[in-house]
């Protein structure tokens, strides 16, 4: 009899426990990565590198290093690829930490994962439904790029190179094609690396935006992926048909190790290119802008 009376209470307790488990909220992985990154650099006594920049869609994490020479060259704005961070090991980390040693301020900003998600290399056309919907992230991305460029301007930097990895290369090209004209493009350059088109609606096509640019462009390939190499051939053709003589595509970038203190092949390639095509133009840009 006593056991029978206790049974309903036991069932209520089990139901409450199960309900609590079901509604438990998992941490947002992007937020968690950014918090971990901030804690790491503060523990390394490098908290000054952490910058939270403002945009109308919310604050976002960035990592900033000032140049460490007597001959400042300009600023590098680095855009991460899908699923990575502003301090992703190997290429992003090497680039942002080495370039200040040769006169370049670096600012690496975070982008939301869904805004840099890429289309699969092979994909059967999906049925249209809510789960296949890709939002238009143009406003969020453009606001973050603009906020980052404004920050670099506030630091006295007007000779600027945007570096886009993967899907972010398409976003960088799209932004610059919309914002720059032949009248206001002095002091800008673009570097794109292993370019992919992000999954966005409406779709982005770098073969349409890149030929509109009349600035120095370096198109780097660090992959053996046949679909990416084929897209690179189409991209090069779209630019050359417009007679853009400041465009260069290179497919010999060498992968590097995350454990060595020296710059990897990709970083050395970028360093060499900016020395020839983008370095030391601060005085010209300031004069042109009446600064």
Lowest mean pLDDT of 14-18, 33-37, 41-45, 255-259, name the range: 14-18
1 domain-assigned: no
pLDDT of residue 285: 53
Q: Which residues constitute the domain of residue 259?
A: 47-119+127-284
2 domain-assigned: no
pLDDT of residue 200: 78
Cα(150)–Cα(47) distance, rounded to whole angstroms? 21
37 domain-assigned: no
22 domain-assigned: no
Between 28 and 160, name the one with better pLDDT.
160
Exposure of 15 in the CB half-sphere (CA atoms within 13 A): 6
| pLDDT-derived band at 223, boundaries 50, 70, 90 | confident
Alpha helices in 70-215 (DSSP H): 91-98, 138-154, 168-179, 206-209
6 domain-assigned: no
12 domain-assigned: no
20 domain-assigned: no
Kindly report the CATH number assigned to the domain that includes residue 258. 3.40.50.1820
Retrieve residue 207's tokens.
């073969």
pLDDT of residue 136: 78
How many domains in the chain?
A: 1
Predicted TM-score (pTM) above 0.85: no
268 domain-assigned: yes
Cα(23)–Cα(193) distance, rounded to whole angstroms? 41
Averaged over 167-190, what is the pLDDT? Answer: 94
pLDDT of residue 226: 87
């Amino acid at each position: 009899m006593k056991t029978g009376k206790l049974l309903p209470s036991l069932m209520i307790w089990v139901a409450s426990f199960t309900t609590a488990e079901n509604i438990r909220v998992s941490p947002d992985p992007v937020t968690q990565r950014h918090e971990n990154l901030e804690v790491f650099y503060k523990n390394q006594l490098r908290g000054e590198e952490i910058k939270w920049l403002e945009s109308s869609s919310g604050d976002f994490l960035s990592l900033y290093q000032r140049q460490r020479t007597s001959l400042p060259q300009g600023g590098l704005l680095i855009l991460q690829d899908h699923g990575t961070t502003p301090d992703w090991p190997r290429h992003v980390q090497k680039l942002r930490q080495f370039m200040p040693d040769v006169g370049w301020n670096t600012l690496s900003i975070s982008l939301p994962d869904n805004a840099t998600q890429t289309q699969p290399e092979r994909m059967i056309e999906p049925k249209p439904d809510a789960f296949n919907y890709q939002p238009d992230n143009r406003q969020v991305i453009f606001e973050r790029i603009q906020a980052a460029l404004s920050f670099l301007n506030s630091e006295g930097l007007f000779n600027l190179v945007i570096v886009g990895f993967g899907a972010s290369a398409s976003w960088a090209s799209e932004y610059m094609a919309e914002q720059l004209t032949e009248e206001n493009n002095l002091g800008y350059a673009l570097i794109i690396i292993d370019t992919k088109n992000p999954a966005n609606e409406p779709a982005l096509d770098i073969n349409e935006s890149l030929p509109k640019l009349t600035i120095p462009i370096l198109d780097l390939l660090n992959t053996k992926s046949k679909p990416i190499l084929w897209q690179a051939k189409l991209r090069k053709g779209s630019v050359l048909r417009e007679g853009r003589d400041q465009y260069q595509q290179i497919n010999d970038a060498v992968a590097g190790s995350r454990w060595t203190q020296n710059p990897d092949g990709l970083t050395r390639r970028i360093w060499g290119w900016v020395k020839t095509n983008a370095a030391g133009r601060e005085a010209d840009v300031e004069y042109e802008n009446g600064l």
